[in-house]
């Protein structure tokens, strides 16, 4: 689906009244959720006394309570109540070979048994993993491993400032670049500014410039008003929130041109798109080479400490040298043998099994099938689009609410609640997605998964009154 069509369809949904599930029907679905998930609820009730909020990190659904998973295999997950789910969360995108992929797991078990998890010193796998990344990523000539995508974004900004001698960072509104102090600004919904920045000093983002997505005039103005001051532009190349805010076809190209003109660096945050959108990342997909690339998630295929930052040799050179001559980057468990072995074997197995092509082919089929199903309910306006194996389904369009509306925040909260109610149904029926808006596919999703997905969505549509 083209950019203009996505924008049009979002606006169309926003122009319509919310189509909520009637309360009596929703009450039955909540009751089913509670009855199916008694053990999960028990775990949550205990966790509330031990963990703030009762949950560490749940990307799927926290209301009425989060589910506790027991195991996963292929595209399926089983919770502690032994309910089975077609999984489109894929641990937030890292999983593309499928959960518990034996050829990969066997290699990691071997590492643990024969070498141990970490020594605090260099291992050969560090070199091997670096070679695999550099071989595939057009914009990466050197790479430094870290422990998360958040750390990698932090390092990328520090590298850009050290290399250019400039301070300002342009961030595109609605994008996510980790939870560091300097990046928790204008998250999720463009224009929200410091809404989520409680506990963060204003000085932390004093050198951050927030530019609305696809606003070419605002982007150019940001450069002009900060002449010789912009160190870098940091972007998600398919748009904020992994394409929830899709980019205009000329957006990345124009950023590249402005960075070159003003002697600033272009940073691609490829934590999600790297090796998922294409084996060469979004930079190969769009044929635009960044100066710095941020990686995470998939490079370790769900194994911990998955983060890396790479780029041109001259840019990355600020990471080496003596005291006072280089930037400071730490991480005791960065580049440990488990992570680097997982990276090396994941990338080679993805190539061997043509994982991106297979996951994309399935996503294309599912996108078409869901749009056909949604077309039977033109009164709703629901639609699906995908960037390769990264799928977005839009039901209430709460991400697209214009903040200039006087009722903007009321609309966002109401529309988010309705999307959450929809997810109570879909999760209760055995379908796991990300935040009620996103789906990631793996190479093992098949016809059975597709049919189950359509069955669940057909059921949800039946609960929403027509007209």
- Give the residue numbers annotated as catalytic, written as ranges: 176, 269, 297
Listed in sequence order, the residues at least 6 apart from 438 whose beta carbon sits closer than 8 Å to its beta carbon are 88, 241, 242, 244, 390, 391, 392, 393
> Rounded to an integer, what is the distance from CA 17 to the centroid of its chain?
29
- The C-alpha atoms of residue 253 and residue 270 are separated, in whole angstroms, by 16
- Structure tokens that stand for 35 in this block: 């009855």
- Structure tokens that stand for 452 in this block: 């189950």
- In terms of Cβ atoms closer than 10 Å to its own Cβ (0-12, 13-18, 19+), residue 6 is buried
SS (H, E, C) the chain: CCHHHHHHHHHHHHCCCCCCCCHHHHHHHHHHHHHHCHHHHHHHHHHCCCCHHHCCCCCCCCCCCCCCEEEEEECEEEECCCCEEEECCHHHCCCCCCECCHHHHHHHHHHHHHCCCCCCCCCHHHHHHHHHHHHHCCCCCEEEEECCHHHHHHHHHHHHHHHHCCCEEEEECCCCCCCCCCCCCCCCCCCCHHHHCCCCCHHHHCCEEEECCCCHHHHHHHHHHCCCCEEEEEECCCEHHHHCEECCCCHHHHHHHHHHHCCCEEEEECCCCECCCECCHHHHHHCCCCCEEEEEHHHHCCCCCCEEEEECHHHHHHHCCCCCCCCCCCCCCCCCHHHHHHHHHHHHHHHHHCHHHHHHHHHHHHHHHHHHHHHHHCCCCCEEEEECCEEEEECCCHHHCCCCCCCHHHHHHHHHHHHHHHHHHHHHCCEECECCCEEECCCCCCHHHHHHHHHHHHHHHHHCCCC
- In terms of Cβ atoms closer than 10 Å to its own Cβ (0-12, 13-18, 19+), residue 72 is buried
């Amino acid at each position: 689906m083209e950019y203009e069509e996505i924008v049009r369809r979002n606006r169309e949904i926003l122009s319509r009244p919310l189509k909520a599930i009637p309360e009596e029907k929703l009450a039955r679905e909540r009751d089913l959720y509670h009855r199916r998930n008694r053990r999960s609820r028990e775990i949550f009730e205990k966790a509330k006394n031990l963990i703030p909020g009762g949950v560490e990190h749940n990307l799927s659904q926290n209301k009425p309570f989060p589910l506790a998973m027991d195991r996963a295999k292929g595209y399926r997950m089983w919770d502690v109540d032994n309910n089975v789910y077609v999984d489109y969360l894929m641990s937030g995108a890292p999983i593309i070979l499928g959960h518990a992929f034996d050829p990969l797991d066997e290699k990691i078990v071997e590492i643990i048994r024969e070498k141990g998890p970490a020594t605090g010193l260099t291992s050969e796998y560090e070199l091997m993993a670096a070679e695999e990344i550099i071989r595939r990523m057009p914009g990466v000539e050197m790479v430094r491993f870290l422990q998360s995508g958040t750390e990698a974004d932090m390092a990328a900004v520090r590298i850009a400032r050290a290399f250019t001698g400039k301070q300002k960072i342009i961030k595109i509104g609605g994008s996510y670049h980790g939870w560091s102090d300097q990046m928790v600004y204008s998250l999720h919904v463009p224009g929200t500014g410091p809404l989520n920045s409680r506990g963060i000093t204003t000085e932390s983002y004093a050198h951050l410039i927030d530019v609305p997505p696809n606003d070419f005039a605002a982007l150019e103005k940001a450069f002009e008003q900060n002449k010789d001051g912009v160190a870098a532009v940091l972007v998600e190349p398919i748009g904020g929130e992994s394409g929830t805010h899709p980019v205009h076809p000329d957006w990345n190209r124009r950023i590249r041109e402005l960075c070159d003109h003003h002697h600033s660096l272009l940073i691609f945050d490829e934590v999600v798109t790297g090796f998922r959108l294409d084996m060469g990342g979004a930079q190969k997909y769009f044929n635009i080479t960044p100066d710095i690339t941020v990686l995470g998630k998939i490079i370790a295929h769900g194994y911990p400490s998955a983060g890396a930052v790479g780029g041109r040799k001259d840019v990355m050179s600020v990471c080496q040298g003596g005291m006072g001559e280089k930037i400071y980057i730490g991480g005791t468990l960065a580049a440990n043998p488990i992570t680097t072995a997982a990276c090396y074997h994941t990338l080679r197995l993805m190539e061997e099994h043509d994982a991106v092509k297979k996951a994309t082919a399935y996503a294309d089929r599912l996108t078409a099938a869901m749009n056909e199903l949604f077309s039977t309910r033109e009164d709703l306006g629901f639609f699906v689009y995908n960037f390769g194996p990264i799928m977005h389904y839009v039901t209430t369009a709460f991400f697209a609410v214009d903040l200039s509306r006087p009722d903007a925040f009321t609309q966002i909260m109401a529309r988010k609640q309705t999307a959450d109610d929809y997810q109570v149904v879909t999760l209760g029926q055995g379908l796991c997605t990300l935040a009620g808006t996103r789906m990631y596919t793996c190479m093992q999703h098949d016809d059975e998964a597709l049919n189950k997905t359509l069955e669940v969505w057909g059921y949800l549509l039946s609960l929403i009154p027509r007209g």
